[in-house]
Copies of this chain bind each other. A is one copy, B any other.
């Protein structure tokens, strides 16, 4: 889709989608959040064509969600590590996963576990102001100007 006019829209959701608005990018961020950093790790994990992976990694790097870092001079090898912006995308993915579990959870599913307690994570989005679960209270949009 045409991301140009979307990115200067006043909607923060649309803004977010211009950087990470496709499935491959989100899956790359998922894998990166689980610790993958290298081209071939992503390729094998995702079964993605190398052409596409190159492009997606480049975009995510340009957008500031990944950082390309040389981890070997000889032979020259780069890896992709999450930036702060990339790390902060994880909650979106986890919440998307929670939705997927609830509505597309047939069969065996991977579960996300708190590494310290060992308990399965139960993700919820709340409004930090009211403490209410998002979606339980009506929302209004305030457009600028």
Size category of the A interface is 35 or more
Question: What are the residues of chain B within 8 A of A122 when measuring CB–CB?
Answer: 127-129
Is chain A's interface secondary structure helix, strand, loop, or mixed overall?
Answer: mixed
Q: A26-B17, A122-B128, A124-B128 are in contact. Are A12 and B140 (CB under 8 A)?
A: no
Question: What are the residues of chain B within 8 A of A129 when measuring CB–CB?
Answer: 114, 117, 119-122
A111–B15 Cα distance when bound, in Å, is 13
Question: What are the residues of chain B within 8 A of A17 when measuring CB–CB?
Answer: 23, 26-27, 96, 100
Interface status of A40 (Cβ within 8 A of chain B):
no
A residues in contact (CB < 8 Å) with B: 1, 3, 5-8, 10-24, 26-27, 30, 33-34, 47, 52, 64, 85, 87-105, 107-117, 119-130, 133-135, 137-145
